[in-house]
Amino acid sequence: MNMMVIDNVLHDPNEYVVDIYSRQFSDVFDGKNLFKGIQPRNNDEFSDYVLSIAGDSFEVAWNFIRMSPLNQEEPNFMHTDDMMGDITAILYLSKQHPENDGTTVYDLDGKVASVVYSKFNRAIMFDSNLPHHRNIFENFGTGESSRLIQVVFLREKK
């Protein structure tokens, strides 16, 4: 897979975001880290889209929305997601965001492979073993103006 960037992923991203804000966010402890502002999702338009690209040999390992306001403490900055699955997909859902918001992905030698900038309804997909981080360390916004993304982890079916 390596990496791909796709614009205009959702059919009606505005309605999708309205639905997100009609549901609760909570904090999730994974046994080691506390992840704040998480909304678990089941099968939805984004996870279906990601699966359609990845193919029949993959399944959703975890699917969630993440709201990250300015200065929210995060469990990590640069990291890999290989413990979560084989492919990471991130959907940017903030309509208003700082110009440099997005994700930086590194190759396995630690060199910058790509800097992807956030755009409403843009997705990035990459191999989960690639180191990456959000471009803005301290996040941004408050309430519904906070950084809003959806993350889907795919794993190969056994």
pLDDT tens digits for range 46-82? 999 999 999 999 999 999 999 999 999 888 899 999 9
Higher-scoring residue by pLDDT: 22, 33: 22
For residue 41, give the H/E element and its range: none
Among 70, 55, 65, 57, smallest CA distance to 24 is for 65
CA geometry: angle 145, 148, 151, nearest 5 deg:
175
Least trusted range by pLDDT, from 22-31, 59-68, 91-100, 143-152 = 22-31
Averaged pLDDT score across all residues of the chain? 95
3-state class (DSSP) for residue 29: strand
Query: How buried is 106 (Cβ within 10 angstroms: 0-12 exposed, 13-18 middle, 19+ buried)?
Result: middle
pLDDT of 1 above 80: no
Mean of the pLDDT values across residues 148-155? 98
Domains of the chain: 3-156 (2.60.120.620)
Q: Is the dihedral of CA 155, 79, 41, 6 positive or negative?
A: negative
Mean of the pLDDT values across residues 97-126? 97
CB-based contact 155:51 (threshold 8 Å): no
Cα 54 to chain centroid, rounded = 16
For position 109, what pLDDT does the model report? 94
